[in-house]
Amino acid sequence: MKTQDAGTSGQQFTPPLPARAKHIRWLAGIGAIIVVLLVVGLSALVFAQFRQRQARQTSPTPPAAQWKEVLKGYTRTSLIAASSDPAIVYACASRETPNTSPPSTVSAITILRSADFGDHWQDIGGSAVPGAICQLAVNSQNSNDIYAVSYGNSSQNPVLLKHSQDGGKTWETILPVMHGSSLQTPVQWAVQQIQVEGNRLFGIQWIMPRALPVGPPIKSIPYLMPRLTTSIDGGHNWTIIDNQFATQKLGVHSYAVNPTNPDTIYDLVGYTGFPLNLRAVPTYDPLPIIGLNQELFKTTDGGVTWQSILKNIPYGSQVQLATGNPQLIYVGGTISPLPLVPGSPPQSYPVAIGSFHLQMSTNGGSNWQNVAIPSDIQSIQNWFVSSIGQVYASPTIPSSGQPTAIPGTIVPSTPVPFPTANPQSGVQGIPPVGADLSPPAPIYRTASVVGVHTQTSPFTLSQFIRRYDPNTNSWSDVTRPPTPGFMLQLTHVQSTSGAVIWFVGVADNGQVLYRYIV
């Protein structure tokens, strides 16, 4: 029979565990500790991301696929949402005077702010926009960091740049200075299409390098040159970054900045002459049109060098990119009449003037393809690109032909001296209070540029809203507007495919702002 050894005291003796077994237990203990730490770390990371997402978005996203009236009693000229918090929305607007038919907007323009996707608004303008027209820009990284440009204030300060770092509670007045070795005379700062990306501001500044002679007995007409400018010190000092095109008599018509790398910029340039409408009273009848197409350039070094990436673009086009995928770029718009260029041959297009066209690049402009346009959306009022690269377009139907607010349409306006020379100061000025800020050339713009223009047009009412998906290369119906009007803006939501459609309904009792979550 097998027996166990016993000590001298008679107790049983248990031999010690081998060294290997102890090592395995030690490793198992360490592994358990590591697992616990990983679980705790991952939980903390998920919680931190959740809290960060909550901190970025101040309000939950409203229900989708529902039109909602969010603001009335105002005429809106622009609207912009914060990239870091899409629930925060800012708008330039004028309060309508009811008891008139149609309601007039005699009150001064102001700035409205909403922190819940437009459900509630507060007036934060104060003295920020004492003029008749304003435009806004919001820092893509800080929803409370906003800039406001106000036009038509006074002869001493015709254009003001205001800055707020607390969401409009307080405003600082900035006195911008335009710099450039090519400027023969000082230039009054008057930037349009202002935009903030990273720590840089961008915008288009109209320069008057010379006068365009048209021969006796007609006096010379100012020759305007729109240039792309930037500021790296919060708007105090501005420099021209596309002056290479000045010798070719080309001016910027539209631009887009890569939000992940502001040194990558797309500059859509074209001839800056305008139809010579010499009548004292505009008649809006067609004029002979000849001219040059537009061309798209790209820089990856902040404007030091430029490369042509797309030629023969129909006049009246825009460039837009997907902020969530900056390699996805669109160039398109409604083909508009060309500016008069003496001696230039007539231009021909595959489609008629007034038709919508669209080209797309998925690799930053290296290659391009045409986007097929359905026959029932040839006339596009406004079009916008979502953060993931889907195109939202607002086709139109014929109206009665009465003068109607039509932002985003071609505006052939009577030439005005913009900017005008100031003989007393020798500084290039800007239009007086109440003057039309449209450059004296028809260009395709949206209401977010400088405001809503009134013009007789056979296409004013939005019929439906369509969406183009580059993944399927197809168009689909999104929704039908609740009332006649126009699509004012498209902003994003905190999702992979969502967007917010902002639509202005136009009726006899004034304008109404509607919201639709896709």
DSSP secondary structure, 190-216, as one string:
-EEEEEEETTEEEEEEEEEEEEE---T
CA distances from 514 to 381, 490, 502 (A): 17, 12, 6
- Read off the tokens for 50: 């959740």
Task: Show the 3-state SS of 142-153.
Answer: CCCCEEEEEECC
Provide the pLDDT for residue 125: 87
How confident is the chain (518 residues) per 10-residue block, as mean pLDDT? 45 50 58 60 49 58 95 90 93 79 65 96 86 86 93 69 95 90 71 91 81 49 78 96 87 94 95 45 32 85 96 90 96 73 51 80 97 85 92 72 32 32 36 34 28 36 87 96 92 84 88 95
Q: How far apart are the first and last CA of the chain?
A: 85
Query: What strands, in cross-sheet order, belong to the sheet with 133-138?
Result: 133-138, 146-151, 159-164, 172-174
What distance lies between CA 378 and its chain's CA centroid? 23
DSSP bridge partners of 211: 222
Look at residues 96, 95, 90 and name the one whose alpha carbon lies nearest to residue 78: 90
Provide the pLDDT for residue 209: 56
Look at residues 381, 322, 382, 358 and name the one whose alpha carbon lies nearest to residue 475: 358
- Read off the tokens for 286: 């067609």
Helix (H, G, I), strand (E, B) or coil at 380: strand
Dihedrals φ, ψ of 504, to 5°?
-105, 115
- Read off the tokens for 299: 């820089």
- Read off the tokens for 167: 């969401």
Residue 178: which region, alpha, beta or left (left: phi > 0; alpha: psi -120 to 50)? Answer: beta
CA distances from 418 to 188, 223, 231, 421 (A): 11, 9, 23, 9
H-helix or E-strand spanning residue 499: strand 499-507
Buried b (16+ CB within 10 A) or exposed e, 65-75: eebeebbeebb
Identify the residue whose tokens are 């949402």. 81
Provide the pLDDT for residue 401: 37
What is the distance between the alpha carbons of residues 195 and 176, in angstroms, rounded to a whole number? 15
Identify the residue whose tokens are 């129909």. 314
Look at residues 337, 338, 320 and name the one whose alpha carbon lies nearest to residue 329: 320
CATH of range 64-517; options 2.130.10.10, 1.10.357.10, 3.30.70.100, 3.40.50.2300: 2.130.10.10
Provide the pLDDT for residue 373: 92
Q: In the 8-state DSSP scheme, what is residue 170?
A: S
How many Cβ atoms are within 10 Å of 436's Cβ, its own excluded? 16
Cβ-proximal residues to 100 (8 Å cutoff; 6+ apart), any chain: none
What is the distance between the alpha carbons of residues 169 and 398, in angstroms, rounded to a whole number? 43
pTM: 0.74
Sign, Cα dihedral of 443, 444, 445, 451? positive
DSSP secondary structure, 352-365, as one string:
-TT-EEEEEESSTT
CA distances from 71 to 5, 113, 469 (A): 94, 11, 30
